[in-house]
Structure 1
Amino acid sequence: MKISISGIRGIFNEDLGIQEIARFSRTFGSYLKNRFPITNCVIARDSRPSGRLISEVVTGSLLEQGIDVYDLGVAPTPILFREARKYTGGIMITASHNPLPWNGLKMLINGRGLFESDLEQLLNTRINEHSQMGRYFNIDSSYVTDILQHIHPSNQSNMDFKVGIDFGGGAACMYTDRLLDTYHVKYLGINDKLGFSSRGPDPTSDPLLDLCNLVKTNNLNFGFAFDIDGDRLVVVSNDGVQLNPDLTLLFCVASVINNSKFKKFTISLDTSLAIEKYVKDHGGQVFFSKVGESNVLRRMIETHSESGGEGSSGGFILPNFTSCRDGLLASVIISSLNQDLIKECMTISSNFRQIRTKYPINTKTDNKILLEKILSALKPQSVDVIHTDGLKFILDDDSWILIRFSNTEHVLRISLESTIDRLDSLFESLNNKIVEVYEKIQ
Structure 2
Amino acid sequence: MKKTISGIRGIFGQDLNLKDVLKFCNNFSSLVKSGKCTIGKDTRPSGSMIKDTASAALMKNGIDVFDLGTVPTPVVFREARKYGAGIVVSSSHNPIEWNGLKFIIEGRGINEKELPKIIQKQEIKSEKIGSEQEISSSYIEDARKIIGDLESQPQVAVDIGGGAAKGFAPELLESIGCKVQVLNENLQGCTRGPDPTADNLDDLVAASSNKEIGFAFDLDGDRLVVVRNGKKQTPDVTLGLGVAKSLELGYKNFVLSIDTSVSVEKFIKDNGGTVQRTKVGEANVIEQMINQNAQAGGEGSSGGFILPEFNYCREGILTSGLISSMLGTQKFNEVLNFMESYFQIRDKTAIDAQLHDKVIDDVHSKLSKEYSEVITLDGVKGIIDENSWVLIRKSNTEDIIRVSAESNDENKCKQIVKDTIELVNQSYEQVR
Supply the AA of the counterpart residue of 1:206: D
Q: Within 5 Å, give how 1:220-259 maps onto structure 2.
A: 220-237=211-228, 239-258=229-248
Whether the 8 Å contact between 1:64 and 1:131 is mirrored in structure 2 is: no
- Map Cα deviations across residues 9-56 of structure 1 (whole Å, 9 max, x no partner): 111122212221211111101332xxx2x3111111111121112112
Supply the AA of the counterpart residue of 2:142: D
- Aligned partner of 1:383 among 372, 380, 384: 372
Q: Within 5 Å, give how 1:59-98 maps onto structure 2.
A: 59-98=55-94
SS at match of 1:288: strand
1:309 offset after TM fit, Å?
0.6
SS at match of 1:13: coil
Supply the AA of the counterpart residue of 1:173: K
Supply the AA of the counterpart residue of 1:417: E
2: CA distance, partners of 1:174 / 1:214: 20
Q: Within 5 Å, give how 1:45-56 maps onto structure 2.
A: 45-56=41-52
Report the equivalent of 1:339. 329
2: CA distance, partners of 1:351 / 1:67: 52
Q: CA RMSD in A?
A: 1.8
TM-score by length of 1: 0.93
Whether the 8 Å contact between 2:349 and 2:421 is mirrored in structure 1 is: no
1:90 offset after TM fit, Å?
0.7
Report the equivalent of 2:201. 208
- Aligned partner of 1:323 among 285, 294, 312: 312
2: CA distance, partners of 1:265 / 1:202: 26
**Structure 1 residues without counterparts, runs of 5 or longer:** none
- Map Cα deviations across residues 102-133 of structure 1 (whole Å, 9 max, x no partner): 11111000111112222244445623246522
Q: Within 5 Å, give how 1:23-38 maps onto structure 2.
A: 23-32=23-32, 36=33, 38=34
SS at match of 1:224: strand
Whether the 8 Å contact between 1:158 and 1:335 is mirrored in structure 2 is: no
Whether the 8 Å contact between 1:10 and 1:104 is mirrored in structure 2 is: yes
* Match status 1:291 vs 2:280: yes
Q: Which moved more, 1:336-345 or 1:42-51?
A: 336-345
1:269 offset after TM fit, Å?
0.6
Report the equivalent of 1:302. 291
1:174 offset after TM fit, Å?
2.2
1:194 offset after TM fit, Å?
4.2
2: CA distance, partners of 1:72 / 1:16: 23
SS at match of 1:425: helix
Supply the AA of the counterpart residue of 2:27: T
Q: Which moved more, 1:239-248 or 1:350-359?
A: 350-359
Q: Runs (4+) of structure 1 moved beyond 6 Å? A: none
Report the equivalent of 2:140. 144
1: CA distance, partners of 2:114 / 2:189: 36
- Aligned partner of 1:187 among 174, 180, 202: 180
2: CA distance, partners of 1:129 / 1:195: 42
Whether the 8 Å contact between 2:241 and 2:332 is mirrored in structure 1 is: yes
Whether the 8 Å contact between 1:70 and 1:138 is mirrored in structure 2 is: yes
1:406 offset after TM fit, Å?
3.8
Supply the AA of the counterpart residue of 1:429: D
Report the equivalent of 2:265. 276
1: CA distance, partners of 2:304 / 2:372: 29
Aligned length: 430
Supply the AA of the counterpart residue of 1:205: A
2: CA distance, partners of 1:103 / 1:413: 24
Whether the 8 Å contact between 1:351 and 1:420 is mirrored in structure 2 is: no
Q: 1:268 to 1:433 in 2, by over 3 A?
A: same
1:437 offset after TM fit, Å?
2.6
Supply the AA of the counterpart residue of 1:288: R
* Match status 1:199 vs 2:192: yes
1: CA distance, partners of 2:351 / 2:161: 29
2: CA distance, partners of 1:358 / 1:139: 43
1:192 offset after TM fit, Å?
0.7
1: CA distance, partners of 2:428 / 2:62: 48
1:433 offset after TM fit, Å?
1.6
Report the equivalent of 1:13. 13
Report the equivalent of 2:156. 163
Whether the 8 Å contact between 1:47 and 1:195 is mirrored in structure 2 is: no
Report the equivalent of 2:393. 404
SS at match of 1:132: coil
2: CA distance, partners of 1:223 / 1:206: 14
TM-score by length of 2: 0.95
* Match status 1:428 vs 2:401: no
Q: 1:50 to 1:148 in 2, by over 3 A?
A: same
Aligned-residue sequence identity (percent) comes to: 42
Q: 1:196 to 1:118 in 2, by over 3 A?
A: farther
2: CA distance, partners of 1:404 / 1:430: 12
- Map Cα deviations across residues 279-312 of structure 1 (whole Å, 9 max, x no partner): 0001110111111112111111222210111111
1:370 offset after TM fit, Å?
2.9
Q: 1:195 to 1:437 in 2, by over 3 A?
A: farther
1: CA distance, partners of 2:14 / 2:350: 19
Report the equivalent of 2:2. 2
- Map Cα deviations across residues 340-383 of structure 1 (whole Å, 9 max, x no partner): 122211221122111113345545x1443232122234332222
- Aligned partner of 1:177 among 166, 170, 180: 170
Q: 1:394 to 1:192 in 2, by over 3 A?
A: same
Supply the AA of the counterpart residue of 2:182: G
